[in-house]
Amino acid sequence: MHHMIDQIDTLIARSIENTITPAEQAQLDNWLQEDVANRQYFETLKNTWLFAGKSNPNYTPDTIHNWERFQQRVAEQGTTPQPRFVITYRNIFRVAAALIVLAGATLLYLLFFTQYDTTVLTAVGEKKQITLPDGTAVFMNQGSSIEYAPGFSGAERTVRLQGEAFFEVTQQAAKPFVVLTSISKTKVLGTSFDIKAYDGQAVEIAVLSGKVAFSDKKGKESPVTLATGHKAILQSGQNIRQIPIADPNFMAWKENRLLFQDTPLSTVIGTLESYFNVDITVITPEVLTYKYTGSFDAPRLEETLNAICTSANLTWTKEKDQYKISTKIP
């Protein structure tokens, strides 16, 4: 892999300075067509090269030795012809700066373009359990995605989450486990927790065991340490709110069980909407304060509605995908 990147770097350098042969240009063109990431990599180097050319021409950094080493490396690889750069003080800086960028961009390419090349998806109505390379168990809710690098190369075990997932993290003190969402970062050593991060909604994290450090991805706030039995909520552009876990059904999607204990009907309806991914409208708002007690294992929506409505002398109807609850007509 590294040899391939080195060879591509050489072709890109020759292409930018117009010293590339037709055969090498064809090889570079084939590489550019293979992946959009390759084309992004090429454009990054090209733009940086051009930027370097606009820098102070009187500045002479001590980088000629690095350029000579690069030429030697190319020669040892047996690639011909050698780049025909005109080594002036102006071009010395351009060459040296571009080579530094080439080396740095190669590292960035390896870190970012190939970092998250394993993706697991769940469709609407689908749940899935997976095991990550370190043995961490992940239970994925519907409409979610997990991205991670095979083998967890790097100083941290990093995954990207969109949607909701429950993590049982294998403890590795020397290699923290990190979950990134669009706006948050969660860092742990070994614990179990649930993260909900659907697009357009607040990010919520609930800790079942151990401790986690939860923070804004942009680093605007210091990380909030969450202990067992606590949750945090982060809305884009707002501060993190930390509260005790009060909802017994926050893990209902994973446990396939609903539990209500003197729960207001307004909360019951919200839980049903979230669990079954449906819309439920209460036609007679005065019943929202009614408190319901009951539990359901492997619940089904219509059976659950029947039980709740019977206990409260209510009725429900369905029109297309819309459920409606109202008082019974005398």
- CATH code at position 142: 2.60.120.1440
Q: Specify whether 304 is located in the same domain as 237.
A: no
Question: How confident is the model at residue 48, as a pLDDT?
Answer: 60
Task: Provide long-range contacts, Cβ within 8 A and 24+ apart, for 280-283.
Answer: 280/323, 280/324, 280/325, 281/322, 281/323, 281/324, 281/325, 282/324, 282/325, 282/326, 283/324, 283/325, 283/326
Look over the chain and give the mean of its residue pLDDT values, rounded to a whole number. Answer: 79
| Last-in-domain residue among 214, 244, 274 | 244
For 291, the domain range is 252-327
Higher pLDDT, 15 or 168: 168
Residue after which a domain boundary falls, among 190, 216, 244: 244
> 183 near 194, Cβ under 8 Å?
no
Instruction: Kindly state whether residues 205 and 317 are assigned to the same domain.
Output: no
| Angle between helices 36-53 and 2-16 in degrees, nearest 10 | 50
**Which of 300, 294, 293, 308 is closest to 275 using CA atoms?**
300
Nearest Cα neighbor of 205 from 248, 246, 164 is 164
Q: What are phi and psi of 102, to 5 degrees?
A: -55, -45
Question: Do residues 258 and 208 both lie within one domain?
Answer: no
Whether residues 68 and 93 fall in one domain: yes
- The mean per-residue pLDDT over the stretch 125-151 comes to 92
pLDDT in tens, 13-64: 778 777 888 888 888 888 888 777 777 777 777 766 555 444 444 444 444 4
Predicted pLDDT at 203: 95
The residue with greater pLDDT, 315 or 93, is 315
In this structure, are 91 and 180 located in the same domain? Answer: no
Give the separation between CA 223 and CA 225, rounded to whole angstroms.
6
Which band of pLDDT confidence, cut at 50, 70 and 90, is reported for residue 149? confident
Backbone angles phi, psi at 223, to 5 degrees: -60, 140
For 199-232, give one letter per residue: b (16+ CB within 10 A) or e.
eeebbbbbbbebbbbbbbeeeeeeebebeeebbb
- Do 202 and 318 lie in a common domain? no
Examine the domain organization and report whether 128 and 214 are in the same domain: yes
The domain that contains 304 carries what CATH number?
A: 3.55.50.30
Mean pLDDT of 186-195: 92
Q: How far apart are CA 137 and CA 234, in angstroms?
A: 24
Claim to verify: residue 182 and residue 262 sit in the same structural domain: no
Number of independent structural domains in the chain: 3
Last residue of a domain, which of 113, 141, 170?
Answer: 113
- Cα-Cα-Cα-Cα dihedral sign, residues 308, 314, 318, 323: negative
Q: Closest Cα partner for 38 from 99, 90, 114?
A: 114
Say if residue 293 is in the same domain as residue 323. yes
Count of beta carbons in the 10 Å neighbourhood of residue 59: 11
Whether 276 has a pLDDT exceeding 60, the answer reads yes
Residues 108, 111, 117, 123, Cα dihedral to 10° = -90
Work out the pLDDT band at 229, boundaries 50, 70, 90.
very high
Q: What is the mean pLDDT of residues 86-94?
A: 40
Query: Do residue 103 and residue 122 come from a single domain?
Result: no
Is residue 141 domain-shared with residue 196, that is, in the same domain? yes
Q: What are phi and psi of 165, to 5 degrees?
A: -155, 150
Does residue 240 sit in the same domain as residue 122?
yes
